[in-house]
Structure 1
Amino acid sequence: MSKPVIGVTTSARSGWRIFPLVALNIWLAGGRAVRWGAGRPADISKVDGIVIGGGDDISPDLYGGELVTSARLDPARDALERRLVGEARAAGKPVLGICRGAQMLNVALGGTLDQDAYATHQTSRRYRTILPRKTVKVLPKTRLVDLAGPEEMKVNALHSQAVQRLGEGLRVAARDTGGMIQAVEAVHDPFALGVQWHPEHLFYARRQRALFRALVTAAQAKLDHRNQIDAVEGEAA
């Protein structure tokens, strides 16, 4: 049986070093990764699922927000990823969003972002390291709690923006200790999960590998014409 193929979007600035980590996690989960980015061919029909990766901020033009001076934008990447999320959802293919990718999943489904999230959530601790320092609380009765367990987890968090108003069909799956949204997930098929942290750097942690395994499991279920969420929950059980 061939491995599910996962398209992975990356930043033009940091993709060269991030893609190998994401590809490793996908390989460990039983899939095969191909790299996408602005200016590269990106055809949703050629893959079985997608990862929207981290990096640049998302332009507020996409959701009617206001630009903050610290924002680092890539409009071409915004357009590519917004299209891919829409096409993946329309084609019934699973999505995993990482940091910026979680935000893009939300925006592409009609949600908004808080561009200065740490000003809004002043009791949320901000860390600028890939080391797992931030405490995240996984919410009960979510798919994420089935995948990663109910215990608090330590994650890395490099973001300045965060999900504000939820996109269509999404629910909150985790928050930090200050109440800031740290994960969102689709309520119904096809499978979609967005996390504000960078699980690709935490491949040594079973709970983080489970996120990539869920994506690959959902992609295989799509290939087999099975319900993706049932397949993911069945494996997590």
Structure 2
Amino acid sequence: MAALIGKARPVVGLTASVHGSRIAWWANRLALRRAGASAVRITAEQTYPIDRLDALVVGGGDDIDATLYGESVNPQIRIDPERDHLEMRALDCAAKLGLPVLGICRGSQMINVHRGGSLHMDIHAIYEEAPHMRTVLPRKRIRIEPDSRLYSILGIAECRVNALHHQSVDRLGDGLRVVARERAGIVQGIEASAEPFLIGVQWHPEYLLTDSRQQGLFRTLVDTALGHPPAYEPLPDAVQAAD
């Protein structure tokens, strides 16, 4: 982890596609700035030394190359192999350095693939009853495991999140556990309990800027980078739900 002495703000790297959404970049940058960090955008053409970062956010975007988890590539699906390789290397480095890592949407899937897991390439082929939903508004209800770090950060058992994905975690990677699902069973959150902060969420908290619970993901990431992770204690079973 980069030395923080004398730094005004920790530096958090955000991975993205070369031609990725600038809206997503600005939303993440704002969320991280409000959490007390400076963000640097990392792409296959705009690299940055991972060992100079204090934390890493693996962002959303194109699908992941299926050959990375032993499946055949669907020619109808847009992939970005250069970004895949960038993020696999970044996660290798982050693991060696002990950097806190947050995966968002594709980023959550990449954490799983990096640890040897696999993906459902089309959730609607597996979860036929799942609603077809693509919106930045919080319309999808999920349930969070009460003994998880994600639970302790959000402080709630159920909440509504946004949904822009058509793939999801299938076989779990090494050391990961599922900590959130939607009603249809689709995985919405994963984490590594043995790590100070390695969490993947299938939704986009960067777009939920007015939701203080969701912004807590960025605050906790930054606090962990600063060496001040919050005390983690499983919350009791009797908890509230958010509309």
TM above 0.5, one fold?
yes
Residues 1:25 and 2:31 are matched in the alignment: yes
Q: Is the 8 A contact 2:64 2:79 kept in 1?
A: yes
What's 1:184 paired with? Answer: 190
Q: 1:115-134 alignment to 2 at 5 Å?
A: 115-134=121-140
- Alignment partner for residue 103 of structure 1, among 85, 96, 109? 109
- 2:180–2:187 CA contact under 8 A, matched in 1: yes
Per the alignment, in what secondary structure is the counterpart of residue 12 of structure 2? strand
Note if 1:87 corresponds to 2:93. Answer: yes
Structure 2 residue 230 is the aligned partner of structure 1 residue 232: yes
Alpha-carbon distance, 1:14 to partner: 2.6
- CA 1:236–1:45 in structure 2 vs 1: closer, same or farther (change >3 Å)? farther
Structure 2 CA distance, aligned partners of 1:38 and 1:80? 6
CA shift for structure 1 position 148: 0.7
Task: Give the whole-Å Cα distance in 1 for the aligned partners of 2:234 and 2:42.
Answer: 29
- Please state how far the C-alpha of 1:236 moved relative to its aligned partner: 11
1:61 corresponding residue in structure 2: 67
Which of residues 181, 190, 201 is equivalent to 1:195?
201
Unpaired runs of 5+ in structure 2? 1-6, 236-243
The 1:219–1:53 alpha-carbon spacing in structure 2 relative to 1, beyond 3 Å, is: same
Question: What is the TM-score of this pair, normalised by structure 1?
Answer: 0.91
Aligned pair in 2 of structure 1 residues 158, 25: CA closer, same or farther (>3 Å)? Answer: same
Q: Once structures 1 and 2 are overlaid, which stretch shifts more, 65-74 or 127-136? A: 65-74
Shift of 1:122: 1.7
CA distance in 1, matches of 2:224, 2:140: 28
Task: Call closer, same or farther: CA 1:73–1:218 in 2, change over 3 Å.
Answer: same
| More helix by percentage | 1
Q: Which residue identity does 1:155 align to in structure 2?
A: V
| Residue 228 of structure 2 is aligned to residue 215 of structure 1 | no
The one-letter code matched in structure 2 to 1:232 is P
SS in 2 for 1:26: helix
For 1:86-135, what per-residue CA distance to the aligned partner results, in whole angstroms no more than 9, with x for missing partners? 11011100100000000001111111111112211122222111111111
Question: Secondary structure, in 3 states, of the residue corresponding to 1:232?
Answer: coil
Distance (whole Å) between structure 2 residues aligned to residue 68 and residue 80 of structure 1? 21
Identity of aligned residues (%): 44
Conserved? CA contact 2:181–2:187, under 8 Å? yes
| Residue identity matched to 1:93 | L
Q: TM-score, normalised by structure 2?
A: 0.89
Where 1:166 maps in the other structure, the secondary structure is coil
Task: Note the C-alpha offset of 1:214.
Answer: 1.2
Q: Offset of 1:234 from its aligned partner?
A: 5.5
Instruction: Give the aligned partner of residue 120 of structure 2.
Output: 114
Q: Measure, in 2, the Cα distance between the counterparts of 1:46 and 1:200.
A: 23
